[in-house]
Structure 1
Amino acid sequence: MKVVIIGGDAAGMSAAMEIVRNNKAAQILVLEKGDVYSYGQCGLPYVINGKVPHTDDLIARDVEEFRAKYGIDARIFHEVTNIDTKLKKVSGVDVNSREPFEFLYDKLLIATGASPIIPRLENADLQGIHTVKTIPQMEALMRVLPNVKHVTIIGAGYIGLEVAETIRERGLEVRLIHRGKRLMSALDPKLAQMVLEEARKHGIEVLLNETTLGFKGATHVEGVRTASGIYETDLVIVATGVRPNTQFANGFAKLENGALIVNEHMETSIEHVYAAGDCATHYHRIKRQMDYLPLGSTANKQGRIAGLNIAGYMQKYQGIVGTSILKFFNLQIGMTGLTNADADQLHALVEAYEMEVNDIASYYPNVRPMKLRMLVEQQSRQLLGMQAVGENGVDKRIDVFATALYNEMTFEDLLHLDLAYAPPFSGVWDAIMQMPKRYGKK
């Protein structure tokens, strides 16, 4: 069996390793557009402040290890530009030489990930405008940062906030420009206000409700032009989201953003072709529909399931509940399940519960408050979502609540959980077990 995998990062190489382990007869060819395999994209921002000493530390296995140890034909600088699903053939060009190539497959996995969205802005081709999705992009940024005093970041999602923190920790001046009315738009306004206050406390200039129009400069960026005026800066980082890399995959069923629609076996709409990771859809267990929430953890899990199915073991991907967490200076910001906007789109009848609780026992030293917001379905009392912001303990509560969501538990079921208790870790009633004030319809 000839297996071709397009993309050599999380989903692609998780699949490749499952095929290696479970189908010794398979011939595996991986076509990677760049020259870096299997690295931790989520760790890239921490190269900026030195918590990750070098980009090499993010590489789990290099291309030579895949070739020599596992017998995978791992190619670099091979860009796929077309798939002929009738002839079961992929074609493309060598990135450096521009020489064409063609390969036949029996099974094909598309694991091409996603790329940063660069809005159509005036002078967007100026030098000094960066994105931080890949190791080469981060290395390019690190080469110029020593000569920079002021950085402007466009976008205030996960990457925007992580980069703002790590650049500020280098001692540089940082400005955040965001077109929304609050940082991290998915957060409830009260929780988002905590994030805004944390940013300002650490000296970050935050501009909300700002529409970016373009950039000022001759050859190198010198400022950002918005509807309100021009803001001078030495360097710009664009962090306005990502788009699935599926432009070459014609004839497949896709979401509006281009994500390839897959079933529970990671099969696309065309026979013998699979997709996984940031280029594919993710089934949302709470929404009960296909969604798009690109995360490294999801990509690895989907890649594993795709690999097992390609190897001949019928496995099902169980979906996501929308769990994520972010560190921003002294704050932990976590969420899982539905947001207010999600509930509105689904026309769900929802009650909201808000509370401020302690992360550990109130009498134990260094107790810290955290704010929680839960969404509960009115009639069934089924849990729908939770957001939490605090200095400590958010990760534990989000993970417990995500597990409860996965198992379709009710609000009252939380009181029966047997959670770990000792004063340094929790109160006798854990934070998510304390009966909050009932706010009614969100």
Structure 2
Amino acid sequence: MNIVIIGGDAAGMSAAMQIVRAQPKWQITVLEKGAIYSYGQCGLPYYIGGIIKSHNELIVRAREVFQDRYGIDARIYHEVKEINHKKQRVIGTYHEGNSAKNFSLPYDKLIVASGASPVMPPFTGKNLAGIHVLKTIPDAQKIIDELTSNVLNVTVIGAGYIGLEVTENLVASGRKVTLIDAADQIGSSIYESDISEKIKQEAVKNGAEVLLSTSVSGFEGDGQVERVITDNGPLETDMVIVAAGIKPNTDFFTNTDIHLHQSGAIVVNPYMETTLPHVYAAGDCATHYHRLKQRDDYIPLGTHANKQGRIAGANVAGNRKAFKGVVGSAIVKFFDVTIGKTGLNEKEATELGIACCKLSYTTTTHASYYPGNNQLFIHMIKNRDTDVLLGVQAVGAIGVDKRIDVAATALYHEMTTEDLENLDLSYAPPFNSTWDPIQQGARRL
């Protein structure tokens, strides 16, 4: 069996390893557009900030390991341009130095794990030096190389996860950072307004400038970016990092009748099969079934990519497995606090026609009399008619991850707030209160 995989990162190599272990005699060819295999993209902001000292620490398995130990034909600089699903061939260009050669490979089964690319809006002057996106190790390395002592003011456009993490790390390096977003709150499509306000307060407390309801139209400078042009006037800057979201890499399906999601991601069924025969997809280029919304969604995260890649590989190799879906869990460190969320926010619930009850409250991470107590702010919503939990968001210095993971488990199993109240959660004064913060909210709600 001849297997071709497009993409050599999380989803692609998770799939490849499943096939290698189940079908060691099969031929596996991986086509990677860049030169680096299997690395932790989520660690890139911390590499820029110097917490991760070398990009090699981000690489899980080097290309040579896949080739020499597992017999995978792991190719680099192979850019896919087209899929001919009728002839079952992958067509593209191999870049070597300054030359480019065309290639055409046959496949018995194809796994598309092509990931996603950063969005660069149509800003004027976007090609000036000093304007960056962040998605790959070379992207991060270029930013680091240009972060000289002359770069004192950095502008970050986009207040999503990457924008927040980059802002934190650049402030920690001693630079003045301005965080810009067109929305009127941070993470407007993700966080409840009270959670967003606490994120903004944390940014300001640590010296970052936050400009919300501010639209960027372009950049100015003499070869090098010097100003960001906004609807509220120009801003002087020495560097710009654009974190305006990502777009699935699916353009090579243009001449096919494959079913794409409104986001541009490939629609897959629970077995990672696409609407094209013998073609599977996984990771940031594919949809993710949302268990609460009960429909396909697009939530590109490393956890989903690894799971979907593993499932795609298992199914290709003949071991039938299904992807059980997501509930919308995410977490981010931002200066001295952690922000976590899982499930739906109030806006999403309303758009789904769900009548919900909400509760915001401040509590403590463990027994009030034990030293080292910290405040925890939690926002919780439930279905008004069924009492089923719909979503939880939290901000605090410690303890957020534990509560979000408990809530995510409850959401997966469609538990009610009464179910939450009855959970047997661990307790001792250094770790918790007799009523866990999540249970406190469940009782009140």
Give the structure-1-normalised TM-score.
0.98
Q: What displacement does 1:411 show?
A: 0.8
Structure 1, unaligned stretches of length 5 or more?
none
Q: What displacement does 1:353 show?
A: 1.8
- The answer for the alignment partner of 2:5 in structure 1 is 5
How is 1:8-407 mapped onto 2 (pairs within 5 angstroms)?
8-96=8-96, 97-147=99-149, 148-185=151-188, 186-250=190-254, 251=256, 252-407=258-413
CA–CA distance in structure 1, aligned partners of residues 339 and 32 of structure 2? 34
CA–CA distance in structure 2, aligned partners of residues 53 and 240 of structure 1? 26
Asked whether the equivalents of residues 355 and 436 of structure 1 are also in contact (C-alpha less than 8 Å), the reply is no
- The answer for the alignment partner of 2:436 in structure 1 is 430
- Residue identity opposite 1:80 in structure 2: V
Q: What displacement does 1:310 show?
A: 0.4
CA–CA distance in structure 2, aligned partners of residues 153 and 192 of structure 1? 17
CA–CA distance in structure 1, aligned partners of residues 240 and 65 of structure 2? 36
CA–CA distance in structure 1, aligned partners of residues 289 and 227 of structure 2? 41
Secondary structure of the structure 2 residue equivalent to 1:240: coil
Asked whether the equivalents of residues 353 and 436 of structure 1 are also in contact (C-alpha less than 8 Å), the reply is no
- Answer with 186-195 or 100-109: which moved more: 186-195
Using a 3 Å threshold, how does the CA distance of structure 1 residues 337 and 435 change in structure 2: closer, same or farther?
A: closer
Secondary structure of the structure 2 residue equivalent to 1:326: strand
Give the structure-2-normalised TM-score.
0.97
CA–CA distance in structure 2, aligned partners of residues 342 and 6 of structure 1? 33
Q: What displacement does 1:352 show?
A: 0.7
CA–CA distance in structure 1, aligned partners of residues 23 and 400 of structure 2? 41
Asked whether the equivalents of residues 284 and 300 of structure 2 are also in contact (C-alpha less than 8 Å), the reply is yes
Using a 3 Å threshold, how does the CA distance of structure 1 residues 361 and 215 change in structure 2: closer, same or farther?
A: same
Structure 2, unaligned stretches of length 5 or more?
none
- Residue identity opposite 2:24 in structure 1: K
CA–CA distance in structure 2, aligned partners of residues 403 and 95 of structure 1? 46
Q: What displacement does 1:390 show?
A: 0.8
- Residue identity opposite 1:106 in structure 2: D
- Residue identity opposite 1:141 in structure 2: I
Asked whether the equivalents of residues 150 and 173 of structure 1 are also in contact (C-alpha less than 8 Å), the reply is yes
- Residue identity opposite 1:17 in structure 2: M
- Answer with 32-41 or 411-420: which moved more: 411-420
CA–CA distance in structure 1, aligned partners of residues 184 and 39 of structure 2? 34
CA–CA distance in structure 1, aligned partners of residues 111 and 175 of structure 2? 42
CA–CA distance in structure 2, aligned partners of residues 12 and 179 of structure 1? 34
CA–CA distance in structure 1, aligned partners of residues 330 and 268 of structure 2? 22
Using a 3 Å threshold, how does the CA distance of structure 1 residues 390 and 381 change in structure 2: closer, same or farther?
A: same
Secondary structure of the structure 2 residue equivalent to 1:351: strand
CA–CA distance in structure 2, aligned partners of residues 47 and 146 of structure 1? 15
CA–CA distance in structure 2, aligned partners of residues 146 and 365 of structure 1? 42
CA–CA distance in structure 1, aligned partners of residues 263 and 413 of structure 2? 30
CA–CA distance in structure 1, aligned partners of residues 310 and 222 of structure 2? 48
Using a 3 Å threshold, how does the CA distance of structure 1 residues 313 and 352 change in structure 2: closer, same or farther?
A: same
- Residue identity opposite 2:310 in structure 1: R
CA–CA distance in structure 2, aligned partners of residues 158 and 320 of structure 1? 18
- Residue identity opposite 1:332 in structure 2: T
CA–CA distance in structure 2, aligned partners of residues 70 and 61 of structure 1? 11
CA–CA distance in structure 2, aligned partners of residues 223 and 340 of structure 1? 37
List per-residue Cα deviations over 1:359-406 (Å, max 9, x = no partner): 111111111111111111111111111111111100000000000111
Q: What displacement does 1:25 show?
A: 2.3
CA–CA distance in structure 2, aligned partners of residues 296 and 42 of structure 1? 8
Asked whether the equivalents of residues 154 and 240 of structure 1 are also in contact (C-alpha less than 8 Å), the reply is yes
List per-residue Cα deviations over 1:218-244 (Å, max 9, x = no partner): 211001000111000000000010000
Aligned residues: 439
Using a 3 Å threshold, how does the CA distance of structure 1 residues 435 and 166 change in structure 2: closer, same or farther?
A: closer
- The answer for the alignment partner of 1:412 in structure 2 is 418
- Residue identity opposite 1:197 in structure 2: Q
Asked whether the equivalents of residues 38 and 60 of structure 2 are also in contact (C-alpha less than 8 Å), the reply is yes
CA–CA distance in structure 2, aligned partners of residues 387 and 132 of structure 1? 26
Asked whether the equivalents of residues 346 and 356 of structure 2 are also in contact (C-alpha less than 8 Å), the reply is no
Using a 3 Å threshold, how does the CA distance of structure 1 residues 141 and 435 change in structure 2: closer, same or farther?
A: closer
Using a 3 Å threshold, how does the CA distance of structure 1 residues 82 and 388 change in structure 2: closer, same or farther?
A: same
Percent identity, aligned pairs only, is 51
List per-residue Cα deviations over 1:3-35 (Å, max 9, x = no partner): 000000000000000001111221100000000
Using a 3 Å threshold, how does the CA distance of structure 1 residues 197 and 27 change in structure 2: closer, same or farther?
A: same
CA–CA distance in structure 1, aligned partners of residues 205 and 331 of structure 2? 21
Secondary structure of the structure 2 residue equivalent to 1:91: strand
- Residue identity opposite 1:214 in structure 2: G
Q: What displacement does 1:438 show?
A: 5.6
Asked whether the equivalents of residues 219 and 227 of structure 2 are also in contact (C-alpha less than 8 Å), the reply is yes
Secondary structure of the structure 2 residue equivalent to 1:427: coil
CA–CA distance in structure 1, aligned partners of residues 303 and 79 of structure 2? 25
